[in-house]
Amino acid sequence: GQNIDQPTEMTATEGAIVQINCTYQTSGFNGLFWYQQHAGEAPTFLSYNVLDGLEEKGRFSSFLSRSKGYSYLLLKELQMKDSASYLCAVMDSNYQLIWGAGTKLIIKP
Amino acid sequence: NAGVTQTPKFRVLKTGQSMTLLCAQDMNHEYMYWYRQDPGMGLRLIHYSVGEGTTAKGEVPDGYNVSRLKKQNFLLGLESAAPSQTSVYFCASSPGDLGQENTGELFFGEGSRLTVL
Q: What is the pLDDT of residue A96?
A: 86
Contact B104 A91 (CB under 8 A): yes
B36, β-bridge pairs: B44, B89
Q: Does B50 touch chain A (CB under 8 A)?
A: no
Chain A residues whose beta carbon lies within 8 Å of the beta carbon of residue B104 = 30-31, 33, 48, 91, 95, 97
With contact defined as beta carbons under 8 Å apart, do B45 and B94 qualify?
Answer: no
**Gap between the Cα atoms of B79 and B13, Å rounded:** 12
**pLDDT tens across B52-70, in order?**
999 999 999 999 999 999 9
Chain B residues whose beta carbon lies within 8 Å of the beta carbon of residue A101 = 40-42
Q: What is the DSSP string of A10-43?
A: EEEETTS-EEEEEEEE-SS-S-EEEEEE-TTS--
Nearest CA in chain A to B48: A96
> What separation in angstroms does the CA of B33 have from each of A10, A39, B16, B66, B98?
30, 21, 24, 10, 16
Contact B41 A101 (CB under 8 A): yes
Q: Does B99 touch chain A (CB under 8 A)?
A: no
* Torsion from C-alpha of A38, A43, A48, A53, nearest 10 degrees: 30
Q: Indicate whether B101 pLDDT > 70.
A: no
Interface test with A, best of B5, B6, B31, B43 (most A CBs within 10 A): B43
pLDDT per residue, tens digit, chain A (109 aa), is 789 999 999 999 999 999 999 999 998 999 999 999 999 999 999 999 999 999 999 999 999 999 999 999 999 999 999 999 999 999 988 888 999 999 999 999 9
Q: What is the DSSP string of A32-99?
A: EEEEEE-TTS--EEEEEE-SSEEEEETTEEEEEETTTTEEEEEE-S--GGG-EEEEEEEE-TTS-EEE
Q: What is the pLDDT of residue B97?
A: 67
Length of chain A: 109
